[in-house]
Structure 1
């Protein structure tokens, strides 16, 4: 029948079952029920190549890109409980990037229902990928909302077209008096971020630094600008036009700004009509895996079979 080897953080192994993400718990149970052998190993990127070459098993890696015919990478796809399981990687590196979104092929009624459920869970509950303050903080109306990222991360450095300061400075230059709201990444501890923002706040009276709940900023924004942050796809739940300054796998209904000229033009243009509900249903419902779905194991086995490894 073949075997699947899961490579996960060592601290997950031997821990209480509830410490393991639901995606892995349910998949493990489903594979066991089908009599498919599975092995769990601590993630060791230094030895991955040798480990994979030493057997004929299929390997599922948690957050580790390692293109190989017998490898898939798993990771949360921005919004829980949706997961990537992809031959190339997760998020900006996933094969969804090159997939074609055809709105006419997505059922409108079911897409609206899917969109409403996800929007209620995220926007209605004011929840995001990272913890958000629940107190409502005033945010200027009609702003260009700019969300920064921690560019020291490899995944950001490898995918950006504009760095954070070029992105923000271009937005300020193109704002034409409109408020520009900037929110740093919640995990950014770089002192250069603070000094860079302080200098720009002193020079631009229309620039506003905000630590408000993401959904308060998105609700009042006119445009959303980011490199490829998860907030970009959350902005789609608010039906807001998104401008990306880096490679992302949810680019299909966003405007891609590969240089400052393109960003300026996008900020001054009338946003095109977008099929927000159909896109969200297509992206999460068909391109990703729902950790709580009854057919989770079947869909995972289908992806293995597509790689030439039917189990």
Structure 2
């Protein structure tokens, strides 16, 4: 009897997978079937209900023995991991050495992705004298991957950088409580340098001096604009970022002169550490990730 693998997917992704229209899932399915697995798709809410199958979830915590897959910020880059926590992914725990990355290849790669994702904007990047703070959710709560609550992080930015304006943005996909909204309003009333907005990532990345966030993907995109970032939380793209906590805010003294080689890092992060579903070696990378996750492939 063949081993069974089940992909637990949200409705739109399940439909795309069943129609063979999703490139990464099609290649993943091909690897599994070549290894003798039967493959089926089930609704995401059924994950964990069948202990006899090898489970794959999309972006959600997998059941015991299962794995999860997720886009690595932009298509066609993917990861397959045993946890949904990005800060515990393989790349997050791997050492990064820029000396191992080819300069010419990384420069071409970086420019190509700048042009593809942010046409013209990356070329016209400037520093207009403000700090960009993309907020996420739960502004008054400190979660396990954070050094403090997000509202405390925002207070730190205002306290540690008293020369620049601070533009803090609410995430358009989040719903904020009355307590959260009132806390932000009180903070803005005390600091005339603080401006609150919703969304608007691309123009803010283009013109900010640097980014401060817990672990927003906006900071990762900022690398494509050559913008340094300070992280108050844990995440997978931490290697070239500065880190800060309320007890150790020294990163603010260094950020103005922090200029890592963004091209080399993006090449390493995407081409070496992720699965590029558009490359011929995608199946081999998928197989390696499944084996690393403990699945019994030959």
Task: Provide the TM-score with structure 2 as the length reference.
Answer: 0.84
Please state if 1:266 is matched with 2:251. Answer: yes
What displacement does 1:125 show? 6.7
Q: Residues 232-261 of structure 1: CA distance to partner in whole angstroms, max 9, x if unpaired?
A: 10111111111001111110000111x214
Among 112, 116, 128, which residue is 2:107 paired with?
A: 112
Aligned position for 1:64: 60
Q: Residues 142-178 of structure 1: CA distance to partner in whole angstroms, max 9, x if unpaired?
A: 21111100128x9x83311121111111111122231
Unaligned runs of 5+ in 1: 128-138
Q: How many residues align?
A: 290
Distance verdict in 2 for CA 1:141–1:188, change over 3 Å:
same
- Write out the 4+ residue segments of structure 1 that deviate beyond 6 Å after TM superposition: none
Please state if 1:290 is matched with 2:286. Answer: no
Please state if 1:219 is matched with 2:187. Answer: no
Aligned position for 1:177: 163
Please state if 1:305 is matched with 2:268. Answer: no
Aligned position for 2:98: 103
Please state if 1:196 is matched with 2:183. Answer: yes
Among 123, 130, 140, which residue is 1:143 paired with?
A: 130
Aligned equivalents of 1:64, 1:208: Cα separation in 2: 34
Please state if 1:247 is matched with 2:234. Answer: yes
3-state SS in 2 of match to 1:109? helix
What displacement does 1:222 show? 1.4
CA contact (8 A) 1:87 1:95 kept: no
Aligned equivalents of 2:130, 2:58: Cα separation in 1: 37
CA contact (8 A) 1:73 1:89 kept: yes
Unaligned runs of 5+ in 2: none
CA contact (8 A) 1:63 1:90 kept: no
Distance verdict in 2 for CA 1:16–1:251, change over 3 Å:
closer
What displacement does 1:226 show? 0.3
What is the RMSD of the two structures over their aligned residues, measured on CA atoms? 3.0
Please state if 1:28 is matched with 2:29. Answer: yes
